[in-house]
Chain A
Amino acid sequence: MSGSVEQPPQPANALRLHRQLAAIWATGPGVQRLAAVNHSVLGLRMMITSFVFFAIGGVLGMLTRVQLATPNSTFMDAGTYNQVFTMHGSMMLFLFAIPMVESVAVYLTPKILGTRDFAFPRLTAYGYWCYLFGATILTVSLLAGVAPDSGWFMYTPLSSNVFTPGINADVWLLGVTFVEISALSLAMEIVVSVLKMRAPGMSLDRMPIFGWYILVTALMMIVAFPPLILGSILLEVERAFGLPFFDPARGGDPLLWQHLFWLFGHPDVYIIFLPMAAVLSTIIPVFAGRPLVGYRAIVVAIVALAFLSFGIWVHHMFTVGIPHLALAFFSAGSAIVAVPTAVQIFAWLATLSHGRPRWDLPMLYVFGFFFVFVAGGLTGVMLAMVPFDWQAHDTYFVVAHMHYVVAGALAFPMLAALYYWLPLLTGRSTVQRLSTVAFWLVFVGFNMTFFLMHLTGLLGMPRRIYTYTGYESWNWLNLLSSVGSFIMTIGFALVVIDLVVQLRYGRRVRRDPWRATTFEWAMPIPPQPYAFASIPHVGAGTDRTEAGRIALSLARGEGYLGAARNGWQETLGVHMVSGKPDQLIVLPQPTYLPLWTALATAVAVLALLFKLYPVAIVATVVIAGLFVLAAQRSGHARDYGPLPVGRGVSVPPHTEVAEAPPWLALICVLVADGTLFASLLFGTFYLWIAAPNWPGGVSPDPSRLLALGAVAALAVGAVASRLSLRALAAAGGAQGWIVLAMLALAGSIAALVGMMGGVTPDPRTHALGATAVALLCFVVVHAGIGLLFLVSNLLRLAGGRVSPRRLVDFRLTRLWLDYTTVTGVLALALVLALPALVSVLGARA
């Protein structure tokens, strides 16, 4: 069986269904647009926003090329140049690349997986606003001339308050962290959605490969961002409050920053690459006219890449003085990362070889990708070789390599994707000639700019210098690179013109112009806010059925959920592995709440930036309140039991099942948070073993009594929360247990704050004290969030939003408090162990 054409066609109710669903799902006009939570709307906004930052970042890149075109240029002074290149890198990586791939994921994933929206639409909106506001703060700093200027990886001590006393580095630390909140929240949402929200019957082996790529990418984000967020927090604390973590004179170590940064930074390359590979693995089979070859091999390759990419961060640090033996682990690891990449490349080649390739515009960009990415991969293997890196590190060879693998391997598939999916977005086809010219300009310009940089680097030009004198034999190479960059820019400008022309004059296309088999084409184009009028069923042959053929049947409501009910925004949740429907997910309506929460977050960030700490505290309280408020509005006020969802299937609403999206989301949160905690533990041990000037003069003397009290209180809280859950499940009174848990958490916070007050040595004088405070703070913050969970439980209990069947809230609280207790015990154990750790340091060589 294929597609969803099973029932006999009903009288043409497609239009009626469209009107009903559109009324339920549509975002309102005018100012109500700010309340949008729909993935199509937000995905598109995010895409456009990211392209705006791409343009700004591109202009900054052009400025650097103007400056470097000739020796002794007086176009910019060193200070300006440092801001420009720092912002070029930061913008391209944090404000363009990551949001762009996320926007593609947000826009396309639900459609490709055959569902109506993501699991947490309000979180999508919050993520978008955080991104927009954070990015705006960074951009405004550039206009104000106080942009970050320590390079996009912000190495300490250059970025510390001693050597960068102004606001510049704070803008980076706070702005980028703000944007990362957005990336993290979207990543969690993507993971939950891909696992739980697919078309019924879409078991993992039938999931379009796009879903696998996006799932793994989102999982990588969840693990990759926390180390950098931790690093940014610690560095900001060092800058703002003087607690040393990176200052070598006070027991910190600048290399700790590098470890935390690259623990994020290296996987980030693959976080950018994998969604582009997803695009290629989706497009190439369409143009080869056959299903993708080596589906299983590619899944294995994606998993391998995800892990390997985390284990090779030190290859950015080959010259910092780590022993050769340790470098060799990372060198070999960096080399074998090429294997899963090669598996994908040859799977694509095999797909083309076994199909009947037809040539169209997206394939031109696929060619561009192959050319650029293979070249970049080869130089990557070269740089993985330790001795060669000792020469090439931080030269223009690295600049060239990085642009081949990040810029080229992003830009060409991105444009391939753009031309492939534009008919979906706009309902019109491209104007061929202009697009082809644009491609060749971008391609020639790109290679001219960056290929020559390999040689420039081998001739010894370091990156990040704002000028050179002219005798170094770099003149012609730089001039040609600059000319190339202008050609590339003209190419990109043509792409923009092409888009405008297409929007205006493009031929209207019917559905599924490429004869693709993925579900995003099984809908009227451009897509409606509800995406599918009814949700398709996936059978054995669906991956070979042209999507356009089932579109009409879906529009008539012949799939699942082909009718409006209660004004609910309904979609289906499925079993993670088999794809069997197991719950009816009712999504929230458009709301301004995400906007207000993001605005409050922006106020908090700005207050930290301008050192208005009382304002920051108030804003944080407001944010917490808004989150609790958001929780109050979720779910249902009564039990429904199984509801029919079409095709003879009945499932309960998501509020009444165990494996509900919020449950999985909390697991994702804990994975991210656990990574942050592990990074903090790593940081503590790292400073212990590696930092100069350890131990400090005063030895630590933590209070065992307070530590014990704090742990006991946390444990009481966790137990009380369990008992509250049990009481609720038995329809008994849970309030008493919740209040007990709250009192216990408050007690643990008091004990921990007491411990912080007594930390020796003074946290401002030595990293030993500073790390102890950081560990204690971690526990306090988690206990505090636990309190919020409990407050929310009380409110929802009072509002009748929980019941013996609707237990999810209480299960979330229990999990959070268990986690808080476990991490609390570990953190306090480490604090108590610090005196012993310090005493063994006497035995050092």
Chain B
Amino acid sequence: MRAAIQTSGAALLAGCSGPFSTLAPGGAAADSIASLWWIMLAGAVVLFALVMGLFGLVVWRPGWGSRVSPARWIVLGGLVLPGIVLLPLIAYALVAGERLLPLPSFGSAVPRVEAEGRQWSWTFRYPGQGGVTTSNVLHLAAGTPVDIDVTSKDVIHAFWVPTLAGKIDAVPGRTNRLRVQADRPGQYEGQCNEFCGLGHATMRFVVLVHRPEDYAAALARAAAAEGAGKK
């Protein structure tokens, strides 16, 4: 039991890491969103403490705050406080969201990968790499932004690599674009994030990030190996 407590304590301390953790970002998008989270968390803790503190004071110290007129209570707490918190937050989030969009770049075109979900697997096609395909393994080059065009063959799925970026739904009949960038080579984990039936829990995929100079070769090798495996 004691060991269990120690382990759980360690787990909570290690806390933010994990293969699917949004708080251990490995790419620009996830990084930006994690920052937003930490800012909001700090604000939320302060506001929570404030409201609960006020509740404690008015209940356990009768008369506390009765010199503040009722109208002022409501205006300060109900209008001013949310106003000064929400307006900057909305502005910040809109700007942050804008930076994550797959905007057309002016220089070199952003490479694309087509991701297709189906019950219950993912197929990735690489138009810029001769249209080769891989299943359940997405190959990316480190440090390069990539646009993932996500769609579905059957029901709605969602493409999500928590350590790299937010998610986007794979909707049949539509194509949604998500910009992803991995900073460092390595292995990342992705999963389906929209309930899609019996195999939803196991509809995972792996993201292999290569050094840019190795990317083409590694992808070709993987695609060929898969093709051979099928035969």
Contacts and interface: CB of A to CB of B under 8 A. Distances in A.
A254 B21 CA distance: 30
Nearest to B83: A339
Given A82-B198, A391-B167, A692-B173, A462 B191 contact: yes
Contacts of A674: none
Contacts of A321: 168-169, 171, 174, 176
Given A321-B174, A342-B77, A382-B40, A374 B54 contact: no
A357 B168 CA distance: 50
Given A357-B59, A388-B33, A253 B200 contact: no
Contact of A395 (B15, B79, B193): B193
A107 B65 CA distance: 36
A235 to B, nearest CB: 14
B166 A319 contact: yes
Contact of A459 (B23, B37, B193): B23
Contacts of A253: 173
Interface centre among B59, B79, B101 (most CB of A within 10 A): B59
Contacts of A532: none
Contacts of A474: 18
Given A387-B96, A390-B33, A78 B21 contact: no
A357 B82 CA distance: 26
Interface in B61-110: 62-66, 68, 70-71, 73-74, 76-79, 81-83, 86, 89-90, 93-94, 96-98, 100-101
Contact of B156 (A254, A327, A461): A254
Interface string B21-58: 11100000010110011001000100110011011001
Interface centre among A342, A352, A394, A461 (most CB of B within 10 A): A342
Contact of B59 (A359, A392, A468): A359
A249 B173 CA distance: 7
B32 A387 contact: yes
B186 interface: no
Contacts of B119: 163
A459 B20 contact: yes
A340 B78 CA distance: 7
Contacts of A473: 11, 14, 17-19, 21
Interface in A376-431: 378-379, 381-382, 385-395
Give the bracket for the number of chain B residues in contact with chain A: 35 or more
B37 A350 contact: no
Contacts of A764: none
B167 A393 contact: yes
A463 B155 CA distance: 17
A79 B198 contact: yes
Given A293-B73, A347-B73, A461 B48 contact: no
B58 A352 contact: yes
Given A390-B33, A473-B14, A354 B22 contact: no
Interface string A288-306: 0000011001000100000
Nearest to A468: B201
Contacts of A638: none
A466 interface: yes
A248 interface: yes
A665 to B, nearest CB: 35
B192 interface: yes
Given A381-B89, A392-B22, A386 B97 contact: yes
A29 B94 CA distance: 64
A78 B86 CA distance: 41
A19 interface: no
Nearest to A258: B156
A349 interface: yes
B171 A367 contact: no
Given A157-B155, A294-B71, A346-B78, A460 B195 contact: no
A483 to B, nearest CB: 11
A291 to B, nearest CB: 10
B44 to A, nearest CB: 4
A158 B195 contact: yes
Nearest to A322: B176
B73 A370 contact: no
Interface residues of A, number: 91
A346 B65 CA distance: 12
Given A321-B174, A347-B74, A474-B18, A352 B59 contact: yes
B51 A462 contact: no
A480 B168 contact: no
Contact of A472 (B18, B64, B65, B74): B18
If over half of A's interface residues share one DSSP class (helix, strand or loop), that class is named, otherwise mixed; here it is helix
A499 to B, nearest CB: 26
A353 B66 contact: yes
A356 interface: yes
B62 A356 contact: yes
Interface in B181-197: 191-197
A22 interface: no
Interface in B117-137: 119
B154 interface: yes
B115 interface: no
Contacts of A297: 74, 78
Contact of B173 (A332, A387, A693): A693
A769 B88 CA distance: 48
B74 to A, nearest CB: 5
A636 interface: no
A157 B167 contact: no
B172 interface: yes
B172 A157 contact: yes
Contact of B54 (A150, A157, A349): A349
B20 A472 contact: yes
A155 B195 contact: yes
B6 to A, nearest CB: 11
Interface in A433-471: 455, 458-468, 471
A459 B191 CA distance: 13
Contacts of B14: 473
Given A378-B48, A460-B18, A353 B68 contact: yes
Contacts of B158: 319, 394
A480 B8 CA distance: 9
A470 B174 CA distance: 34
B37 A254 contact: no
Contact of A388 (B37, B191, B200): B37
Contacts of B155: 155, 157-158, 163
B201 A465 contact: yes
Contacts of A352: 55, 58-59
A335 B90 contact: yes
B162 interface: yes
B199 A343 contact: no
Nearest to A374: B51
B186 to A, nearest CB: 16
B3 interface: no
Contact of A460 (B8, B76, B79, B162): B162
A79 B86 CA distance: 42
Given A382-B40, A388-B36, 19 more contacts: A248-B171, A321-B174, A332-B90, A335-B86, A336-B82, A349-B54, A371-B52, A374-B48, A382-B37, A386-B93, A390-B168, A458-B16, A459-B21, A460-B22, A467-B201, A473-B21, A474-B18, A477-B11, A480-B8
23 contacts: A150-B195, A151-B195, A155-B195, A248-B171, A321-B169, A338-B86, A340-B78, A342-B82, A343-B74, A346-B74, A349-B51, A375-B48, A381-B40, A389-B166, A390-B100, A390-B168, A395-B193, A460-B162, A472-B20, A473-B11, A473-B19, A474-B18, A693-B173
Interface of A: 78-79, 82, 150-151, 155, 157-158, 162-163, 248-249, 253-255, 293-294, 297, 301, 319-321, 324, 327-328, 331-332, 335-336, 338-340, 342-347, 349-354, 356-357, 359, 363, 367, 370-371, 374-375, 378-379, 381-382, 385-395, 455, 458-468, 471-477, 480, 691-693
Please provide the 9 A-B residue pairs with the shortest distance between their CB atoms, ordered closest to farther: A390-B166, A460-B20, A248-B173, A346-B77, A343-B78, A473-B18, A350-B73, A692-B173, A321-B176
